[in-house]
Amino acid sequence: MTSVLRAAIAALAITLPVAAAAVVPTGARVDAGGFATILSAPPDPAAVAAARMPAHPPGPTRHWYAAEHGISDTEARARLAAQARLQPAFIALNARLRREQNGNFIGAMLRHDPDWAYVFTFKRNPAQTLARYTREPRFEAALGRYSEQERAALIEPWEKRWTAEAIPFGYGLDAVYPTMEVELGMTAQDWQALSAARGWGQPPAPIVLKFAKAPSYPALDPRVRPFLKGFATESRPTLIQLTALRMGTLKLKSGCLMIERGAAGPDQVAVFHQETGIGIDSAGYLALIDRTTGEVRGRVGEKLAWGAPNAIPKNGMVGLDSLRAACPGELINIGNPESAAAFDARNSRRPVAPARNAG
């Protein structure tokens, strides 16, 4: 093939549309291979302005207990005062039951709804047992089945299974609650398929599984897919997010999303939590999209902020193999990042001082 013919083909590739549905992002430069480069982008001024707004509109502030439980401020303060008066007796009775009802007494808690009470849980004869120790009407008895140690034994084999499958999960062992809720980092549909394939069935009572919702938006918007060499996200939802603050500028370099390090070393190839996708915002910029809400989290080309550190789960990434092949370099998991400008605006809001009564 002659050099003239090669030049003609290259020129044709540049002038032809990348794909029928493709939309070149604002500020992007597309090379002869069809991949885009974006080195800078301004923060979305509307997002920064919204971040500066107070979290709650100005107005009378309700007592936190009243707002949380749907009662009046007067009732909230009365409840809290009564609870405080009874707390020494509650602590003393709790300690006595642990000594004298070992093997029967499970634990105690403060219940708030539908009416408040200090509740003591027993394995056997709850009402009769509590009546031997107190006649306080705000002290109530409840029947329980498993202690914390017994709950731990019940969940141990399931915890090993979830860990072996790299499934994020979280739970508490507090035995005063009738059920033991486990947050699983997978959808109900995925769980059913995996459980059936492994022959696991369902966990026994009191274990209750709570599942994640599948993302409502795609990881990669088809309109920008042709301009990227790859895009990788975690395959499981995020349950626990570490909160050490990290910041860096996300750039697109010849189709590869990179965190620029400057003098700190070579740029790093960015990967994300499952909840972050990539698409185009209302102004046409290539942007990171919240796959749950569809909201724009930040633009490619601007400085971002994220919670860290984030591991790259083994066999737990979607699109990682093709990304590695196309975009060599050290990987960095920037989780679910947001615009650093919006982050700074939100965290620099000054709290409004409470009004003082005159006189």
Neighbours of 57 (CB within 10 A): 6
Same domain, 292 and 319: yes
Q: Encode pLDDT of 198-234 as tens digits.
A: 999 999 999 999 999 999 999 999 999 999 999 999 9
Mean pLDDT of 46-65: 77
Per-residue tokens: 216? 């409502």
In this predicted structure, what is the pLDDT of residue 184? 93
Q: Encode pLDDT of 332-351 as tens digits.
A: 999 999 999 999 999 885 44
At residue 59 the predicted structure's pLDDT band, cuts being 50, 70 and 90, is low
Structural domain ending residue among the three candidates 117, 143, 169: 143
Q: Encode pLDDT of 276-302 as tens digits.
A: 999 999 999 999 999 999 999 999 999
In a domain, 78, yes or no: no
Same domain, 230 and 342: yes
With a cut of 60, say whether residue 11 has pLDDT above it: no
Per-residue tokens: 241? 């997010």
Structural domain ending residue among the three candidates 211, 232, 265: 211
Same domain, 204 and 243: no
**What is the residue type of 23?**
V
Chain-centroid distance of CA 111 in Å reads 27
With a cut of 80, say whether residue 57 has pLDDT above it: no
Between CA 155 and CA 134 the distance in angstroms is 34
Neighbours of 326 (CB within 10 A): 15
Same domain, 129 and 158: no
Same domain, 202 and 259: no
Same domain, 238 and 322: yes
Mean pLDDT of 244-261: 96
Q: Domain residues for 172?
A: 148-211
Q: Encode pLDDT of 309-336 as tens digits.
A: 999 987 789 999 999 999 999 999 999 9
In this predicted structure, what is the pLDDT of residue 122? 96
In this predicted structure, what is the pLDDT of residue 318? 95
Same domain, 225 and 334: yes
In this predicted structure, what is the pLDDT of residue 21? 82
Same domain, 118 and 181: no
For 296-324, the three-class secondary structure string (H helix, E strand, C coil) is EEEECCCEEEEEECCCCCCCCEECHHHHH
256 closest CA partner among 223, 308, 300, 291: 300
In a domain, 91, yes or no: no
In a domain, 116, yes or no: yes
Q: For the chain, how far is it from start to end, CA to CA, in angstroms?
A: 93
Percent of the chain with pLDDT over 70: 89
In this predicted structure, what is the pLDDT of residue 10? 40
In a domain, 309, yes or no: yes
In a domain, 11, yes or no: no
Tally of structural domains, the chain? 3
Same domain, 274 and 302: yes
Chain-centroid distance of CA 217 in Å reads 16
Residue labelled with tokens 């034994």: 153
With a cut of 70, say whether residue 7 has pLDDT above it: no
User: What is the rounded average pLDDT for all residues in the chain?
Assistant: 89
In this predicted structure, what is the pLDDT of residue 316? 82
Same domain, 36 and 114: no
Mean pLDDT of 143-164: 93
At residue 173 the predicted structure's pLDDT band, cuts being 50, 70 and 90, is confident
Structural domain ending residue among the three candidates 99, 122, 143: 143
Task: Tell the burial category of 251 from Cβ atoms under 10 Å away from its Cβ (0-12, 13-18, 19+).
Answer: buried
Percent of the chain with pLDDT over 90: 73
For 16-69, the three-class secondary structure string (H helix, E strand, C coil) is CCCCCCCCCCCCCEECCCCCEEECCCCCCHHHHHHHHCCCCCCCCCCCHHHHHH
Same domain, 199 and 230: no
In this predicted structure, what is the pLDDT of residue 359? 33
- Whether the pTM exceeds 0.75: the reply is no
In a domain, 79, yes or no: no
> Angle formed by the axes of helices 340-347 and 45-52, to 10°?
20
Same domain, 138 and 253: no
Mean pLDDT of 12-41: 80
In a domain, 317, yes or no: yes
With a cut of 90, say whether residue 3 has pLDDT above it: no
Helix (H), strand (E) at residue 286: strand 286-290
In a domain, 355, yes or no: no
